[in-house]
Amino acid sequence: MDYKERYQSIIFRMLRPLFHFWIILLVFYLIYRLRLNTDLIPWFQLPIPAINYHETMLFAIISGLIFIAIWILKDLYELDKPVQKYFQTFTKVWIYRIITITFISYFWTGFLFRYWLSRFIIIVWAISVFVIMLLFDQIRNRIEAKKNKNWNNKILIIWDNGTESYEIVEKIQKNMTYKTEFTQLDDIWDIQLTNYLIIIAAWIFNKKDLENMIEQLRFSNTRFYHITEWYFLEDVVYKPENISNLVAMEYKYSTIDGRNIVRKRIFDIIISLCAIILLSPIMIIIWILIKLDSKWPIFFRQKRVWKHGKEFTFIKFRSMVQNAEDLKKDLLKQNERSGPLFKIKNDPRITKFWKFLRKSSLDEIPQLFCVLVWTMSIIWPRPHLLEEIKNYETRQKRLLSVKPWISWYAQIFGRDKLSFDQEAKLDLYYIKNRNLFLDLYVILATFKVVFKGK
């Protein structure tokens, strides 16, 4: 996939809410001027009510924001997939907006709006916006379709020899505005799947083949759909979508995409900023104590692996001797934990004075700054070393499909007492089922773990 062209397409789509908002305001203003200028329609005269310009335009702004909010909720501002059933969905959004602004105009008059809102302006404006915006979007969609044909954003359809598969392919081909390529299962292993914007598996495939296909796409932005009436994969997150009036299951490893990424980021920023402010006195005390206790660097920095297998700088308060990493090589034989991770009881690299720091997890506080720069987040799998990642099993590598976090789901079920395989299973469950309430549960449970010193 040509990433430059893909991001140009995304930017082109990101401008839609801005255009929609200005269309709503411009049309409203023109209807407002038309209502006040009775000379424009001499044969159609209406008494001019007491209309306040500022209140009228405030109503238009509120209406525009409501329209965009409903549009977002209906997934019509998707950035990287075709919009299906556009006219039907657009009409629903328009009706929802009419109901909402009618409620506002009726019940908020005398409260937010001291003057009367002109019913003529609202009715004519609502009809005009529907026609003009629909026309604008049709023109914009045609321009986008033409650009998609010229750009290298392609769709790959994988099909078998069955009649049902052929009918699916024929139906999709008629409705797609992207470049579309076709192949059969036996030929896909010679194809770079990440070169495609969307991959659609049409009809019946072996589950192992489906798993292998989406495994190749783990670190890519390619969307994977499966159209069939027989079965779907249970080990991934799936979401029903409409493609050319066909029900397709979209497979992905996590629920974190689209709007959820924005929500998660806002959640991280709020929590990390509040925690930094509240814990700043403790950070200053720890800083002073480390400085008085030794000449060590205050912080311990290390390269860890994060999303897509990339490296980032992991930071925490130093609680080990200065040559801890060199001593680790001599202690590997004493490792008490199964799997790729290293852990021994009474680690000699930790000074007695700083055992409390690690047991209370206060050494982790500086990672809140990693959250602010978005190399980490508050909750999800723990970041590991590159040499540990190399020993991951295929399924465990799915942990790298998301960003690393300060606290993690497995921690509240036993922390270092779990084997790595048990920890990975718990974290993979979290990745698949993550939601806001589960995040709040993990945060509250983490306090319990920390206070008990587990």
Q: Which domains does the chain have, with CATH numbers?
A: 3-150 (no CATH), 154-252 (3.40.50.150), 259-452 (no CATH)
Which range, of 5-9, 107-111, 380-384, averages the lowest pLDDT? 107-111
User: Per residue in 183-205, pLDDT tens?
Assistant: 887 788 788 888 888 888 887 77
Burial class (CB in 10 A: 0-12, 13-18, 19+), 47: exposed
pLDDT of 22: 92
Crossing angle of helices 16-36 and 119-150, in 10° steps, is 150
Return the pLDDT at 239.
78
What does DSSP assign to residue 161?
S
CA distances 179 to 147, 175, 176, Å, are 10, 11, 8
Reading the block at residue 10, the tokens are: 């995304």
Task: Read off the pLDDT of residues 328-363 as tens digits, 9 standing for 90 and up.
Answer: 666 666 666 665 666 666 666 776 667 777 777 788
Taking 60 as the threshold, does the pLDDT of residue 446 lie above it?
A: yes
367 compared with 346, residue with greater pLDDT: 367
d(CA 320, CA 300): 9
Q: SS3 for 242?
A: strand
**pLDDT given for residue 126 in this prediction:** 85
State the pLDDT confidence band at 277, using cuts at 50, 70 and 90: very high
Confidence of residue 146 (pLDDT cuts 50, 70, 90): confident
Give the residue with greater pLDDT, 232 vs 30.
Answer: 30
Q: What is the dihedral of CA 257, 259, 263, 264, to 10 degrees?
A: 10
**Gap between the Cα atoms of 216 and 133, Å rounded:** 40
Best mean pLDDT range from 28-32, 172-176, 241-245, 359-363: 28-32
131 or 411, which is more confident?
131
How distant, in Å, are the alpha carbons of 31, 47, 50, 287, 376 from that of 60? 11, 22, 17, 54, 40
Name the most confidently modeled range: 6-10, 59-63, 289-293: 59-63
pLDDT of 337: 60
Give the single-character DSSP code of 254: -
Q: Read off the pTM.
A: 0.61
Higher pLDDT, 198 or 449: 198
